[in-house]
Amino acid sequence: MADQQQDPVFQIQRMYLKEASLEQPNSPGILLEQEQPAVDIQLGVEASQAADGLFEVCVTATVTTKVKEKTVFLVEVKQAGIFEIRNLPQDQMNPIMGIACPQIVYPYLRSNVADIITRAGFPPVHLAEINFQAMYEQQQAELQKQAEPSRIITTA
């Protein structure tokens, strides 16, 4: 029984749409434009501890489409998951929350983004597959770079 308490635990507790917004500031005039809109997609990942052994991981997508510098629509969706994570070595926690959890949350985010855009009367924007490991490694490398210049080397 005591061994069971030390076994690693990784479980999905809940998936939910935390936040969603849609703006069409230039409708209806912009809808008459024939030009193809430019699409910009920004993604973000954030993780926080919700309770002992429970962590919330959010993946946010911001999709902006413009024609001639005028916004056609702006959609921002924050999809979240609550994960129970226990008895894992500390050095594995950041990769789990920066790679594994976002990979689980992301398909829900993709679906909600496409659905909101379709409901707004536009062809759906399908977010591409994301390599969260590469994204995580890039973030870690940037953090490492930021930390390096602040080192002060003194010689006695």
Domain ranges of the chain: 2-145
pLDDT at position 1 is 47
List, in order, residues 6 or more apart from 132 with CB less than 8 Å away: 45, 98, 99, 102, 103, 106
In total, the chain counts a number of residues equal to 156
Q: For 2-145, CATH number?
A: 3.10.420.10
List, in order, residues 6 or more apart from 127 with CB less than 8 Å away: 41, 43, 61, 63, 106, 109, 110, 113, 114
Spell out the per-residue pLDDT of the chain, length 156, in tens: 444 568 999 999 999 999 999 999 998 998 888 888 899 999 999 999 999 999 999 999 999 999 989 999 999 999 999 999 999 998 999 999 999 999 999 999 999 999 999 999 888 888 999 999 998 998 888 888 887 655 555 555
pLDDT at position 74 is 97
Tally helices (H) and strands (E) across the chain: 4, 4
CA dist., res. 49 & res. 97, Å (int) = 10
CA dist., res. 76 & res. 23, Å (int) = 9
Taking the CA of residue 91 as centre, how many other CA atoms within 13 Å lie in the half-sphere pointing to its CB?
0
